[in-house]
Amino acid sequence: GLGYLQPRRSATNLVLLAEKPDLAGLLDLMIVDALESASPDDTLNTLERLANTAESEDLLAVINAPEMRRRLFVILGASPFLAGLLCRASHYLRRLLVGKDLLRSKNGSQMIQQLRELIPDGSDFSFLQQQLRRYKRREILRIGGRDLCDLADLTQTTAELSDLAGACLDRAIEICSALLQQEYGPPQVVEQEGDEPYEPRFCVLGMGKFGGRELNFSSDIDLVYLYSSERGETLGVENERGEIKNRIEVHPYFVKLAEMVTRAIGQVTEDGFVFRVDCNLRPEGSRGEMAISLRGAEVYYESWGQSWERAAMLKARPIAGSKELGERVIRTLTPFIYRRYLDYGMVEDIKTMKQKIDRNLSRAREGEVNLKLGWGGIREIEFFVQALQLIYAGKNVHLRERNTLKALELLRREELIGDGECRNLSEAYVFLRAVEHRLQMVQERQTHNLPKKEEDMELLARRCGFSEVDGFTRTLARHRENVHAIYRDLFFTSEEKIKEEIRPEVNFLFDPNADSDLVKDLLAEKGFRNVEGAYENLVVLRRGGSAAFLTERARRMLERIAPLLLQEVLDSPEPEMALTNLERFLSALRARYSFYALLAENHEILKLLINLFGTSLFLSRIFIQHPEILDALVSRHYAVINKDKERLREDISDHFSRAHDYEEKLDALRRYRNEEFLRIALHDLSGRLGQAEGTGQLSMLAEVCLEQAVELAREELRPRFGIPMCQDDNGHEREAAFAIVGMGKLGGRELTYHSDLDIIFIYEADGTNRPDSSTDSERFRELTNHQYFSRLAQRIISILTLQTREGVVYK
């Protein structure tokens, strides 16, 4: 009646505990406190075992201290695996509770230092394996105990588990490298004939949860082994006759090192394993070499890298070995991982990956109970985050974050998800991962499935802090429903909305079996004067575009959005003009699948675009010449109707921060002007901007572009001509002032879309230039201020009017 489910076994445990003189007087306390644990029966059963293995003074010290006793019982009742570790060696209890190791957090640096003391240089391979496994057991007991006793939150727990794996890998590399060099000598690389030889570097990339510092209690660690260069060989070793033997090329040397490290960590011995190792995310998967050179990795990903590999590399993190080489690998692969455009095509790719998982789960009948892969599970949160990162992080470097919870907060901060979505996904992620940990801590098994037996579910609920199973299942259901609703809104809603929005008349026009005469009559009724030409264009749209330039993948996406495009054409002010401009725009896009995907996922942008095509030939021409501006339309900056000058300056600075030389800055200025020009025009066309507001926005845009042109021109003149100087009224030397005066419509802040800029340059003429810290002393040439500012004015005009691939800024 006290709450023990196995009263006979628990009574036996109490009888045996009563035989211990030091504990007999504490039975009442133990009986009551055990009831607060997840499994009172398991708590007493393990306590009785522990009384036979632990030092009696240590156990007595713990039982006599209420807080220590409570924490011990929490561990014993929640995790048979951790309880078994405590019973395995007497010093574990002393270290954990009496020595207060449970209260201490550790970072990777502290762990690697402890491992170097535990496994000294010169250790052999079997000693390395043994000590790594013993250290892991000791640390997993500390980390797991802290988690169960609420001494660490999810982020701290997963970070420490990840740091533990990283420290073990680091020490394994150090010892294995030394052992291999005893056999083959150190590796040496000579890049080109005549170069000094150097020792190549080796690193381990952690992928998936390991890369995100999100390991769970029974995670595989996903690894990719890389080395810096394969142009060399080992020096070999001397035999007893003084001859050099065992020289091998660098590539097989590092393959051996990777295989040796993998065995050190993942091989099952009498002491178990440290972590299960999975190397299938390496180039070519299980068929590929265990280690690959930096150049080999670059060629592989550039030539054969697939969408799922891009998603996998989002979390790649240098874990062990040469961190410098690891960071270099990440920098080298950045163009593969992150596209310079908004890559909406990844939504479809990730959706396909998840559907494949769902089909496999359905066959295994696990979808409803699998916390990781199932409906509303951890993987849906991860896929949601990864999809948005792959779409936006190519252009927004602030979103490049490996950790899921941190990435969610960054997406919220960049206004790509709402506060509610961020909160719901973050809370669900923490809850689901906590439940996952409780499942895996039972017997250190890699499981993500909820138990099927009612009594096991009751135990799980208690391990998760719930007094009864109904509260647990309701909370779980709420989190899963929230996750799946947000996931579905990103991956499926656009397709459903297209079907819902299409009117019957548009479906009729797209029906390949519809009578052609009736179709032409409807086109004429909708305002098309050249009916035959419109019908031919319609047939092309029905077929999914022109076969001349579309890939099969792009054609399928165009087929999906074509009915909505046509419907918007029919609703535009000038359907014939809209259709003509749409044709030209699609031809300019050619086979760029990501742009079709962007339109499929952003219906409001699609509608704005077609409205523009049916309203303004001038603005349509800008879009057709620069289809990449489509990216900017989905930016949060585009939603702002009225921008003040400070906001415009911030935005143009952001554009320039990604430009590295003069030519790139010229293009950045033109791209920015075109994007802002269209932002103003689209808000104007939609009626959200009044006439005075529109001309004011166009005028401020011109002013900010002029400011940037002046700064860019000064930067270009400074290395050779320094800065112009003059004297003030007191005879003190100062930099000469320069100003641009706007005339006409610019002066009155009344610019229109077709206005030129009428400007006058004014400067202080008296004085000469002086070199400054950025001036090249050998190239410096002295000029009068008149000469300097004449050159400056010419350079400003050139910056504004020079025709580049992005067009001109102003005339």
Question: 547-574 pLDDT, tens per residue?
Answer: 556 676 777 777 778 888 888 899 888 9
Task: Give the residue-averaged pLDDT of 384-411.
Answer: 91
pLDDT band of residue 346 (cuts 50, 70, 90) is: low
Task: Give the residue-averaged pLDDT of 144-155.
Answer: 95
Q: What is the mean pLDDT of the chain?
A: 87
**Beta carbons within 8 Å of 241's beta carbon, 6+ residues apart:** none
The C-alpha atoms of residue 323 and residue 361 are separated, in whole angstroms, by 38
The C-alpha atoms of residue 452 and residue 435 are separated, in whole angstroms, by 15
In this structure, how many other beta carbons lie within 10 angstroms of the beta carbon of residue 304? 10
CB neighbour class for 769 (10 Å; exposed up to 12, middle 13-18, buried from 19): buried
Residues 290, 224 contacting (CB under 8 angstroms): no
pLDDT band of residue 534 (cuts 50, 70, 90) is: confident
Residues in the chain: 811
pLDDT surpasses 50 at 367:
no
- Using left for φ > 0, alpha for ψ between -120 and 50, and beta otherwise, residue 207 falls in beta
DSSP H or E stretch at residue 740: strand 738-742
pLDDT at 604: 78
pLDDT at 23: 82
**Beta carbons within 8 Å of 235's beta carbon, 6+ residues apart:** 185, 186, 187, 188, 244, 247
Return the CATH number of the domain spanning residue range 681-801. Answer: 3.30.460.10
CB neighbour class for 725 (10 Å; exposed up to 12, middle 13-18, buried from 19): middle
The C-alpha atoms of residue 690 and residue 736 are separated, in whole angstroms, by 40
pLDDT surpasses 70 at 135:
yes
pLDDT at 7: 82
Which residue, among 580, 586, 520, 578, has the nearest Cα to 549 in the 3D structure? 586
pLDDT at 219: 87
Q: If DSSP codes are grouped into helix, strand and coil, which group holds residue 570? A: helix
pLDDT at 237: 87
**Beta carbons within 8 Å of 648's beta carbon, 6+ residues apart:** 676, 700, 701, 704
pLDDT surpasses 90 at 241:
no
**Lowest mean per-residue pLDDT among 10-14, 158-162, 636-640:** 636-640
pLDDT at 635: 64
pLDDT at 362: 56
Measured CA distances, 357 to 311, 360, 377, 391, 754 (Å):
15, 5, 12, 22, 54
In this structure, how many other beta carbons lie within 10 angstroms of the beta carbon of residue 88? 11
Residues 613, 581 contacting (CB under 8 angstroms): yes
The C-alpha atoms of residue 223 and residue 690 are separated, in whole angstroms, by 58
User: Could you give phi then psi for residue 486, rounded to 5 degrees?
Assistant: -70, -45
Residues 725, 733 contacting (CB under 8 angstroms): yes
Which residue, among 492, 476, 217, 469, has the nearest Cα to 368 in the 3D structure? 476
**Lowest mean per-residue pLDDT among 48-52, 317-321, 419-423, 552-556:** 552-556
The C-alpha atoms of residue 737 and residue 335 are separated, in whole angstroms, by 43
Measured CA distances, 517 to 105, 286, 538, 540, 569 (Å):
78, 59, 13, 17, 20
Q: If DSSP codes are grouped into helix, strand and coil, which group holds residue 211? A: helix
Task: Give the residue-averaged pLDDT of 408-415.
Answer: 92
Measured CA distances, 624 to 366, 549, 589 (Å):
49, 16, 8
pLDDT at 493: 57
Give 637 or 415, the one with higher predicted confidence. Answer: 415
Task: Give the residue-averaged pLDDT of 319-339.
Answer: 93
pLDDT at 278: 94
pLDDT surpasses 90 at 171:
yes
Q: If DSSP codes are grouped into helix, strand and coil, which group holds residue 695? A: helix
Question: 725-757 pLDDT, tens per residue?
Answer: 998 878 788 899 999 999 999 999 999 988 899
Question: 477-528 pLDDT, tens per residue?
Answer: 999 999 998 988 877 655 666 677 788 888 888 888 888 888 888 888 888 8
Task: Give the β-pairing of 187-189 and 232-234.
Answer: antiparallel
Q: What is the 3-state secondary structure (H, E, C) of 43-80?
A: HHHHHHHHHHHCCHHHHHHHHHCHHHHHHHHHHHHHCH
Give 583 or 259, the one with higher predicted confidence. Answer: 259
Q: What is the 3-state secondary structure (H, E, C) of 369-385?
A: CECCCCCCCHHHHHHHH
Residues 468, 461 contacting (CB under 8 angstroms): yes
Any idea what DSSP says for residue 94? I
CATH class of the 345-491 domain in this structure: mainly alpha
pLDDT at 544: 60
Task: Give the residue-averaged pLDDT of 430-447.
Answer: 90
Looking at beta carbons, which pairs linking 680-685 to residues 24 or more positions away fall under 8 Å? 681/612, 681/616, 681/619, 681/753, 682/608, 682/612, 682/633, 683/641, 685/608, 685/611, 685/612, 685/615, 685/616
What share of the chain in percent tops pLDDT 70?
93
Residue 739, strand partner residues: 762
Task: Give the residue-averaged pLDDT of 681-700.
Answer: 87
pLDDT at 607: 84
Residue 472, strand partner residues: none
pLDDT at 366: 47
Question: 291-307 pLDDT, tens per residue?
Answer: 999 999 999 998 898 88
CATH topology agreement for domains 345-491 and 498-634: yes
Measured CA distances, 761 to 352, 724, 795 (Å):
59, 15, 12
Give 319 or 393, the one with higher predicted confidence. Answer: 319
pLDDT at 368: 55
**CB hemisphere CA count around 13 (13 angstroms):** 22
Token reading at 352: 């396909």
pLDDT surpasses 60 at 596:
yes
**Beta carbons within 8 Å of 425's beta carbon, 6+ residues apart:** 381, 384, 385, 408, 417, 482, 483, 486
Rg (CA), the chain: 34
Give 424 or 447, the one with higher predicted confidence. Answer: 424
| Angle CA 296–302–303, to nearest 5 | 90
pLDDT band of residue 143 (cuts 50, 70, 90) is: very high
Residues 292, 203 contacting (CB under 8 angstroms): no
CATH class of the 498-634 domain in this structure: mainly alpha
pLDDT at 704: 94
The C-alpha atoms of residue 254 and residue 507 are separated, in whole angstroms, by 61
pLDDT at 497: 65
Most confident of 385-394, 583-592, 681-690: 385-394
Question: 5-40 pLDDT, tens per residue?
Answer: 788 888 888 888 888 888 888 888 888 888 889 999
pLDDT surpasses 80 at 341:
no
pLDDT surpasses 50 at 107:
yes
Indicate the fold that domain 104-337 takes in CATH.
Beta Polymerase; domain 2 (3.30.460)
The C-alpha atoms of residue 96 and residue 83 are separated, in whole angstroms, by 12
Give 507 or 174, the one with higher predicted confidence. Answer: 174
**Beta carbons within 8 Å of 746's beta carbon, 6+ residues apart:** 699, 702, 703, 755, 757, 758, 759
Residue spans of the domains in the chain: they are 104-337, 345-491, 498-634, 681-801
Question: 42-65 pLDDT, tens per residue?
Answer: 999 999 999 888 888 889 999 999
The C-alpha atoms of residue 341 and residue 648 are separated, in whole angstroms, by 21
Residues 186, 234 contacting (CB under 8 angstroms): yes
